[in-house]
Structure 1
Amino acid sequence: MTQPLSGRRAIVTGGAGGLGRAFARSLAAAGARVATIDVTHVADHDDGQLRGFRADLTTQEDVVDVFDRATAWLGGLDLLVNNAGIAERSTPLDGVDGTAELFGRMLEANLLSAVLCVRAAAQHLLAQGGDIVNVVTDHVHTCWWPVPVDHTEAPECPWAEQPRRPGSVGMDIYDASKWALWGITRTWAMTLRPHGVRVNALSMGATDSPMQRAHIGLGPDDELSADLAAAWLDPAAVGRILVELLAEGARGRSGDSVAVWPHHPVMLRAPARELDLPWGWDPTTDLRGRRPATT
């Protein structure tokens, strides 16, 4: 059976472990050649399909250097998954001391790294088209936004009877960084679609990962309670949705936030809405989506 991403070349940031590692494995299993980039040391697992690179993605010199090395190994670039980031609790009730430092660190890790990586990737993606996926969070929107889903599919969902607006209590700076990444996703989508590059967000709810476990005080090997095991998403299942999104190809959606929520079926849903472009773009006549030449 043909692999859906066969021959495609991908970079996954924050790929040394957790969700990033799961995403990289999903892409590789679907046929892509994958380079992971992370600030922590990663073993060199160059088996021809998957290899790790080390870099600080908040530093422009590191970004330029690692993209040169990673794309040289890949032989080009078709896919970029901006997964690198951090999460810490914070509220307006915190003291002033330390807030500026946390704000800078959070925005650098969650937003600046993505901005730098897209700029480093653009020269490669513009050559033949491709995809950018920004990993966001369901704090950007729940299953009641932009339109409610049918909760007969998920009667145990905590928002089934009490619809909740986006956001979370206790993570104001984190949420701000992810809202910004979702907002810039739309801007990039409008800018890059005419060049054959799709840009989407992946907005998942609580997923079993070292970051999620640490958030509630669990270690990576601690056994989950039955309630958590039922509520948290499986990283491999979220990775499958990423593959399905990328497999849509050049005619697929752009500017969408692809969401998966706990207690709901893990599935690639129809686009929330079509991306409005400043000029008419017809994928049936212009596969690359480039702006038609004028005379």
Structure 2
Amino acid sequence: MDLQLAGKTAVVTGGSKGIGLALVRTLLAEGMRVVTGSRTITAELKETDAVPVTVDLSTSSGPAQLIDSAIAELGGIDLLVNNVGVGDTDEFAKGARFNLLELPDDAWEDTFNLHFYSALRASRAALPSLIERKGTIINISSIGARLAAAGPANYNVSKAALSALTKVIAEQFGGQGVRAITVSPGPVSTGVWTDPDGFVGRLAKEQGVAHEAFVDQLISGLGVTTGRIAAPEEVARLIAFLASPVNITGNEYLIDGGMIKHV
């Protein structure tokens, strides 16, 4: 299938690993020119033809810095994917360990800066170019936004805000040709799940359970119908399809193996 993306341009936040890296590779394979921003440039990212920008997207100036660099490199932006997420494992784990009385303000602020404000700021900076080129914004949320009581509370709430932001962008700028879509993955085989020192790996150690066995327990307990974790490449393919010229905007697409079961 020709997704009609060849020759177009994309900015991907958090493209150094995980879903972001898989997406960079997928978009490049579709013939797009890609700029990506992250705090570190991994060896795997260097092996691609993407243009990497070293930037801290959790800062107030970082997202605009990335977009300015991308426009200078690409001339204009057809697609913005706000993907950056999770960040420091220890900080991520605090939201799962502490309740509202225990989780301090700075944990909420750090989480919202990374997951919500980075997307808001990048979108605002990119919108003039996206309006000019009738482009698309895709926000990578999480099924955690629908499961606020489970997992890191501050992360889940920030992702719920990100999903709402998609609706706002779609409504305010749809008349100018800009589409906005949310993609909400469930468990994905990134470092959060696969790294022995990642979030799930640390939980397994704390409970004295082998990592793989603990993952299987979680997948079963979460009600993943397919019985497996999604691959980053599967999420990337969904994003690439949604970036193609289709009459879709304001919607959320789950890729969760059947976890969310309500209509």
Please give the range of the TM-score, normalised by the shorter of the 2 chains. 0.7 to 0.9
**Which stretch of structure 1 is more off in the superposition, 5-14 or 224-233?**
224-233
Q: Is the 8 A contact 1:89 1:170 kept in 2?
A: no
**CA apart distance, 1:96:** 4.7
Report the CA distance between 1:195 and its aligned residue.
0.8
In the alignment, which residue of structure 2 is the partner of 1:244?
241
Equivalence map 1:45-194=2 (5 Å): 45=46, 49-86=49-86, 87-90=92-95, 94=99, 96=101, 99-141=104-146, 166-194=147-175
Q: Matches of 1:92 and 1:6 in 2, distance apart?
A: 45
What SS does structure 1 have at the residue aligned with 2:175? Answer: helix
**Matched residue, 1:12:** 12
What's the CA shift string for 1:83-115, capped at 9, x where partnerless? 012243425954856511111100111101001
Secondary structure class of the residue paired with 1:36? strand
SS of residue matched to 2:142: coil
Report the CA distance shift for 1:93/1:211 in structure 2 as closer, same or farther (over 3 A).
closer
1:98-143 per-position Cα deviation (integer Å, ceiling 9, x unaligned): 51111110011110100110011011111111100000011234xx
TM-score (norm 1): 0.72
> How large is the Cα RMSD of the aligned pairs?
2.8
Instruction: Note closer, same or farther for the CA distance 1:223–1:33 as it changes in structure 2 (3 Å cut).
Output: farther
- Per the normalisation by structure 2, the TM-score is 0.80
Q: CA 1:236–1:92 in 2, change beyond 3 Å: closer, same or farther?
A: closer
Tell me the SS of whatever aligns to 2:139.
strand
1:262 equivalent among 252, 257, 260: 257
Structure 1 unmatched runs, 5+: 142-165, 265-271, 273-295
Partner of 1:235: 232
In the alignment, does 2:216 pair up with 1:211?
no
Query: What percentage of residue pairs aligned between the two structures are identical?
Result: 28
Q: Residues 223 and 62 from structure 1, CA distance in 2 versus in 1: closer, same or farther, beyond 3 angstroms? A: same
Q: Is the 8 A contact 2:201 2:211 kept in 1?
A: no
Query: 1 CA distance for matches of 2:82 and 2:180?
Result: 11
CA distance in 1, matches of 2:252, 2:100: 34
Shift in Å, 1:172: 1.3
Residue 159 (structure 1) aligns with: none
Give the number of the structure whose alpha-carbon radius of gyration is greater.
1
Q: Encode CA deviations 1:223-268: one digit per residue, 9 max, x unaligned.
A: 8459469521011111111111111x1x51110001111258xxxx
SS of residue paired to 1:253: coil
Q: 1:176 to 1:95 in 2, by over 3 A?
A: closer
The structural deviation recorded for 1:62 is: 3.0
What amino acid is the match of 2:182? A
Structure 2 counterpart of 1:197, from 174, 178, 200: 178
Distance change >3 Å, CA 16–CA 172, structure 1 → 2: same
Task: After the TM superposition, list the runs of 4 or more consecutive aligned residues in structure 1 that deviate by more than 3 angstroms.
Answer: 1-4, 41-47, 91-98, 222-230
